[in-house]
Structure 1
Amino acid sequence: MAESFAGVVGRTVAESQPHWPPRPGVPGSAPDVVIVVLDDVGWSDFGCFGSPIRTPHFDSLAAAGLRYTNFHVTPLCSPTRASLLTGLNHHSVGMRFLSDADTGFPNSRGRVSADVPMLPAVLQEHGYGTYLVGKWHLTPHHEVTPAGPHRDWPLARGFDRFYGFLDGCTDQYLPELYEDNRQVPPPDRPGYHLSEDLVDQAATFLANHVAFRPDDPFFLQVAFGAAHAPMQAPRSYIEPYVEVFADGWDVERERRLRRQVELGVLPEHTRLTERDPNVPAWAELSPERQRLYTHLQATYAGMMEHTDAQFGRLLAVLEELGRRQNTLVLVMSDNGASREGGTHGAVDCNWPYSGLSEPVEAQVQRLELLGGPDGPAHYPEGWAGVGNAPFRKYKQYVDLGGVRSPLIVAPPAGAAGDGEVRTQFVHVVDVMPTVLELVGLGDRCATHGASFRPTFVDPSAPAQRRTQYWEMLGHRALWRDGWKAVTVHEPGSDYDADTWRLYDTVADPSESTDVAEQHPELLRELIDCWWEEARRHDVLPLDDRPLVELLGFRSPFGQTARKSLELPARTGHIPFATGLTGSERSFELVACLAGYRADHQGVLFASGSAGRGYVLYVADGRLVFEHHGFGSDVEVRSVSPLPTGACELGVRLERDPDSRASRATLVVSGADAGSADIETTSAHLSFWGADIGRDPVSQVGTGYQGENPFSAGVLRSVRLTYHDRPPIAEIAAALEHIE
């Protein structure tokens, strides 16, 4: 497209008049913007919201700014992040639940619609530097490959720079990392932790911005993996909390409500909702279970304090760069605390993430591993009820436990804030219009939200909107003028038969007392209003199918739909999100070698990490296959020496159709060369995916040291051939935990 030139072009420069178009920009006083998004953190998990967990830096921000106690999100991560960055309700932009599936309807494409402008893109167009570190989870799983496509990666949606992970969660010590549009290995240094790395990268982005674009404002989103499982942090952060939580979840829920009243984040008349009937009373648990559950909650608390310390480092960077005073800082969670650890939680969350349950007795023997690479924990659902205290339910539900998030806002210096509390109704769709108004771009985008900037300076400013709906997996709710109607839907049941509850959220801020019988006409109005909002925002068709069915829609688009893959030796790291890195299917893996000699050796294919995964390699002239699963380790080694010259070396896994067992058979140039039985296979052996020709980061195999690359120039390719479809029921069970 030709440039629109306002100067004069003559035959020579002397006869011409130069012209430079104005640089895109915002008013010179436009503030920098930092949005910090935590993952699966409950409303009460900051010290300034009633927790005994030490969060001094979050608390100090609240003391200098504002705490919003009536802030709401969606009950899942992808939808909340979509609404945060678009100002639109998640169904209307194609993110009905997660970025993992396209169900064939406009409201559930697993991506944000391409024609919807995102906040970073709007700011970028007006001169902002835009940066994201951490979690994205807005890219369809079938596009998370070394080759993309990259149309739904952060740089394509308005970020100048990105460093982080694309999936729903990742190992804090062994993350699958991306920088801009390329894979990068996690830094190899002692004591590495992802949260620390993210702040280091943010500091670099900002330092470069200040150095080379000193007159431009910046937008930075820091999306920690914390405190989503796997819950991992240095032991020094974990151990002090064992005594803090020794009295159990019933006592701690009551304590939190008392603290919340004392702190002024809830009024004195607030009542504690009943404990979830699926959660046993703490006093009824055996001492062994109490011990395990207490240590698991201590691990979560340690991760929270560790994250707070990294946030403190981020604030220090803003101070060092001289940008703190004119910066808007917001801190929030993407949904309520998660019950996905199940009844017992886990010292190693790969167990529940595989749909398996490790006995409590075995877990208690490994408490010293908690928080480390071999102790990627998740707490039991009873502690999720504490994180959401005093509210009912959890992540995935539209009751307050799923959709009420803590929000801390520190406006730019002089704009307001002095440790005050704001009680106005606010929703995540209101964040984008608030930011745009504050930076002088309030008329640039149509959103479903409204700016809550007036509340910065006026504690009595009215809520800017009257109505907000929610829907997730058939669960539904609607807030209007202080009243809220809500229902929990049973999959497969008639929506019209759902029992709706009604709450007066002003008189009953915890939604503890159902007043539906006292106000049947009002409830009917709210239900009718919900349907109106559903039609307006593309919520329909309602879809309560379990994840077992929804995940079937991944297969036509993803790598798992392919019956075979030919992977050249130079292929990059294969992400876990591809669905190609587990051992849950019957398949044959064949490595094609050229010019093999007896002194050649190394890894042909490795999937997973130390402690959990499988690997095929050559050592001492023999082919070796190792599988490390849940409660069993298997090794099979070819008896005869391998043939020299061009050959094919592989392994065949044959899944038992009636169990999760498999038989592994080595194959050398088409002939069977030894076999062994695997007791338990899984789609989720590890958070780390697979690699060809080496085992680069956390070694799966026990028969070698280091990444053990295969001899140069000999390995040509690896061929994966699948003999059955993925066991969708098992993968769905895992996804219900992972997301």
Structure 2
Amino acid sequence: MKHDKFPGHVGRTVAESTPWWPTSRNHKQQKPNIVVVVLDDTGWADFGCFGSEINTPTIDRLAARGLRYTNFHVTPLCSPTRTCLLTGRNHHAVGMRFLSDTDTGFPNSRGSIDRDVALLPAMLREQGYGSYLVGKWHLTPSHEISPAGPYHNWPLGRGFDRFYGFLPGCTDQMTPELCEDNHQVDREFPQNYHLTEDLVDRAISYVRDHTVFRDEEPFFLQLAFGATHAPFQAPRSFIEPYVDVFAKGWDATRQDRLLRQKALGIAPEETELAPRNEEVSAWNTLSDDQKLLYTHLQAAYAGFLEHTDLHLGRLVDELARLGELDNTLIIVLSDNGASREGGKDGAVDTNAPYSGLPQSVDEQLKRLDQIGTRHGGAHYPQGWAMAGNTPFRRYKQHVDLGGVRSPMVVSWPGGIAATGEVRTQFSHVIDLAPTIMSLAGLDHPLPCDGRSLASTFADADAPAPRSTQYWENLGHRAIWHEGWRAVTEHRQGDAYEDDDWRLYDTEGDFSESQDCAGQEPDLLKELIGRWWQEAEANNVLPLDDRTLVQLLRARPPIGLMSRDRLVFRPGQSHVPISSMIAGSERSMVVTASFRDRAAGEDGVLVSSGDAQGGYVLYVMDGRLSFEHVQLGHRVVCVADAVLPSGTCEAGFALHNRNGHSAEIVLLHGRRRVGAARIPVTAAHLSFWGIDVGTDAADRVSSAYPADFAYPKRSFETLTIDFLDQPLIEDVAEAMESTE
């Protein structure tokens, strides 16, 4: 047999042959390791090195020996920003106009990145890199997040070698639904568990393994924290010190932060504070109770961020210990601006606004000591989100700077000589992939909308990589071109040609506080025309100003949520919260079927959610029992007869009433054996999905021990029959809150 391409020689025997091995190349000497740290919903002004009162010594240390980019931009939402980061493409152009949860039926919003688009980890892998994702993904359509996949839009299907984290947009920090590679993770969550600590542990583990087993090759690690997306959860020792710090309120905080930003050189001396967002009250007009609650909620956010920074420090220290830090490019950014989704009053329990049932200040004050704990995952009021985005206006979901200006810190001791310097070039998240690829030795391997920022590492006066960038979200639009930015906040239902555009000279007006539209009408007209050109070129059309509620109503019939009947079996995998069937907002009949059931068999038949919010059907002392808990309202219903032995059926019927209440009826077959009224139901009960035959998380009821699994010997099936279409508005409101 001939081996024409074999450099050695193949004879009839080994003695007559010459072996050959490829020459080993030490890629690490030529290419840096890459670590991209993505924080969630963190405002431009929330890092200490960007003017905050919050302690972020790890990020500040990286900035002190690297660079801060003060004119860096993202999109107003997480899925689009993560798409831009991993492709170098504008998100509309590759199918991710909005969230991965939603497929509108148009090419620009399929809920996943187009399959023919290569992602950064896959491109780096071809350059000899190991590629690892730890933390949030949120680029898989909801109906594909299941124990059976399909997996082509999971991280390993898009180029990562290993993955550990969560697939949806957010999760509870103390009882998260986790996945590893292509499977769900079954694990216990001790009282001291925290997701941030777990993610950093896994990131360190991946890096250690890589340096041992692939020591001549570089690595790419994307560490995407759940922080600082709500729910805010951290040890109380991190939260309590900030209560006094933020008692001054959000107006004074904004003023103080801008002064520090000027002193730090990240905001020009002439920068003005953008006017207070019109929906936010002046701090001095609030009641004492409001101030007390709001201050504690902001303290929870601050403690959450400091806790995250502390554990990020463990990763940085480990890189140093392994001798990898000097040759590692570390980029830290936020996926969008701070979020106003806590509403006017915020929440001691994030499940309240996510359920569409915000609680009053008086109700929340009774639970101040729970803020940040397992049962008090918090969210701050919108006024604190405004402060997080100092000195800009608006928030996440908007294309004003409060939604799209992100703090970015870049550190690479072995490759960037400058330390503690500021870079002011206009840049955007689509510029990061080509930057990274250029450092990996491959310039623009595929169509790429961004351009490399590498020239700015050494030269503070290097030109911006591009002259134009557009934005669009929910019909809100903006465009930057050669130092000018035009912005419009669209009102749903209005004709787009009637939108009121503003115009800002970004080189002389850092905070976009002075509208120049009246003075420069021709320039504004030119920029609006240029926006339409960019929209055509990047697949932004059709423009769509539908709310998330309306988008969900129009989505195709896919996934578990579209089915009228679901049949589960004990021992099967966990049903994730992203299935959108774990709530109690739909009328349904749940039936457990038994064969040869023996007397004395007790256990959980089905549980949905956890102790923060959920429902459970179980048998105890031979009697069928149902419990439902939501926002402090616990309902317990116990059957008035013992469950029969032998072959039988048992379950409950839940009849949803107008509003958020329901009637629950316990059933032995068709016989009614108990009834109760549920005062509060919701599409979002908690951040945990459904378990059949067990209560696997923070158990819904304290009436039984541990997971209280029902014996599989006789328990055959668990059937859920939905009696009507889901209240899609409630589901959509819950999803909008979580994003």
* Length-normalised TM-score, structure 2: 0.98
Once the two structures are superposed, what CA deviation does each residue of 1:557-584 show, in whole Å capped at 9, x if it has no partner?
1211011111121221110000111101
Cross-structure match for 2:379: 378
Asked if 1:659 is matched to 2:659, the reply is yes
Partner of 1:678: 678
CA contact (8 A) 1:608 1:687 kept: yes
Deviation of 1:630 (Å)? 2.9
For 1:556 and 1:205, how far apart are their aligned partners in 2?
A: 39
Q: Structure 1: which amino acid aligns with 2:223? A: V
State the partner residue of 2:482.
481
Asked if the contact 2:25–2:216 (Cα under 8 Å) also holds between the matched residues in 1, the reply is no
Q: Is the 8 A contact 2:3 2:10 kept in 1?
A: no
Matched positions, count: 737
Structure-2 separation of matches of 1:249 and 1:40: 17
Cα pair distance change 1:22/1:738, threshold 3 Å: farther
Question: What whole-Å deviation, never above 9, does each CA across 1:214-253 have from its counterpart, x for those lacking one?
Answer: 1110000000000000001000000111111111111111
* One-letter code aligned to 2:97: R
Deviation sequence 1:199-222 (CA, Å, 0-9, x none): 000111111111111111000000
How many angstroms apart in 2 are the aligned matches of 1:591 and 1:423?
Answer: 63
In the alignment, the residues of structure 1 paired with residue 249 and residue 4 of structure 2 have an alpha-carbon distance, to the nearest angstrom, of: 69
Aligned twin of 2:265? 264
**8 Å contact kept, 2:136–2:166:** yes
Q: CA deviation at 1:27?
A: 7.0
Counterpart check, 1:75 vs 2:70: no
Q: Secondary structure at the match of 1:638?
A: strand
CA distance in 1, matches of 2:571, 2:611: 23
1:590–1:25 Cα change, 3 Å: farther
Equivalent positions of 1:457-536 (< 5 A) are: 457-536=458-537
Bigger CA drift: 140-149 or 635-644? 635-644
Partner of 2:449: helix, strand, or coil? coil
Please list, as runs of the form range in 1=range in 2, the aligned pairs for 1:92-103 lying within 5 A after superposition. 92-103=93-104
- Alpha-carbon separation, structure 2, partners of 1:638 and 1:235: 41
Structure 1 residue 259: Cα displacement: 0.6
1:54 aligns with 2:55: yes
Instruction: Output aligned runs, 1:17-36, within 5 Å.
Output: 18=19, 20=21, 26=27, 28-36=29-37
Q: Which residue of 1 aligns with 2:419?
A: 418
Structural mapping, 1:197-276, within 5 Å: 197-276=198-277
Distance 2:180 2:79 in 1: 20
Identify the residue that residue 729 of structure 1 maps to in structure 2. 729
Task: Output the aligned Cα RMSD.
Answer: 1.6
Q: Is the 8 A contact 1:26 1:440 kept in 2?
A: no
Question: 2:300, 2:372 within 8 Å by CA — same for their partners in 1?
Answer: yes
| Distance 1:641-1:163 versus aligned 2 partners, 3 A rule | same
Please tell me the residue identity of whatever aligns with 1:704: Y
The yes-or-no answer on 1:609 pairing with 2:610 is yes
| 1:414 positional shift | 4.1
Distance apart, 1:382 and its partner CA: 0.3
Q: What corresponds to 2:451 in structure 1?
A: 450
**Amino acid paired to 1:621:** G
Return the letter of the residue paired with 1:738. Answer: T
Unaligned runs of 5+ in 2: none
Secondary structure class of the residue paired with 2:589: strand
CA shift for structure 1 position 417: 2.6
Partner amino acid for 2:538? Answer: H
| Deviations 1:399-435 (CA, angstroms, capped at 9, x unpaired) | 0000000000012414333100000001000000001
Deviation at 1:311, TM superposition (A): 0.9
CA distance in 1, matches of 2:427, 2:226: 24
Maintained 8 Å contact 1:23/1:127: no
C-alpha distance in 1, partners of 2:567/2:730?
Answer: 26
Distance 1:680 1:555, change over 3 A: farther
For 1:416 and 1:393, locate their aligned partners in 2 and report how far apart those are by CA, in whole Å. Answer: 36
Q: Following the alignment from structure 1 to structure 2, what is the Cα–Cα distance between the partners of residues 195 and 726?
A: 34
State the distance in 2 between where 1:611 and 1:494 align.
43
Query: Which amino acid counterpart does residue 60 of structure 1 have in structure 2?
Result: R
Tell me which moved more, 195-204 or 567-576. 567-576
- What residue number does 1:193 align with? 194
Q: Deviation digits for residues 292-327 of structure 1, max 9, x if unmatched?
A: 000000000000100110111110110111111100
Which amino acid letter does the alignment assign opposite residue 475 of structure 1?
A: H
1:618 alignment partner, SS class: strand
Alignment partner, residue 541 of structure 1: 542
Pairwise mapping of residues 132-171 of structure 1 onto structure 2 (< 5 A)? 132-171=133-172
Amino acid at match of 1:603: V
Aligned residue type for 1:172: Q
Aligned to 1:701: 701
Q: Are the equivalent residues in 2 in contact too, given 1:586–1:654 (CA < 8 A)?
A: yes
CA offset at residue 736 of structure 1?
1.7
Partner of residue 575, structure 1: 576
Percent identity between the aligned chains?
A: 55
Kept in 2: contact 1:169–1:229 (CA 8 A): yes
Contact 1:655–1:661 under 8 Å retained in 2: yes
Three-state SS of the structure 2 residue aligned to 1:470 is strand
Partner of 1:738: 738
Mapping 1:76-115, distance limit 5 Å: 76-115=77-116
In the superposition, relative to structure 1, how do residues 366 and 4 fare at CA in structure 2: closer, same or farther (>3 Å)?
farther
How has the CA–CA distance of structure 1 residues 25 and 582 changed in structure 2, closer, same or farther, with 3 Å as cutoff?
Answer: farther
State the alpha-carbon separation in 1 of the partners of residues 4 and 488 from structure 2. Answer: 56
Per the alignment, in what secondary structure is the counterpart of residue 680 of structure 1? coil
Which runs of no fewer than 5 residues in structure 1 stay unpaired? none
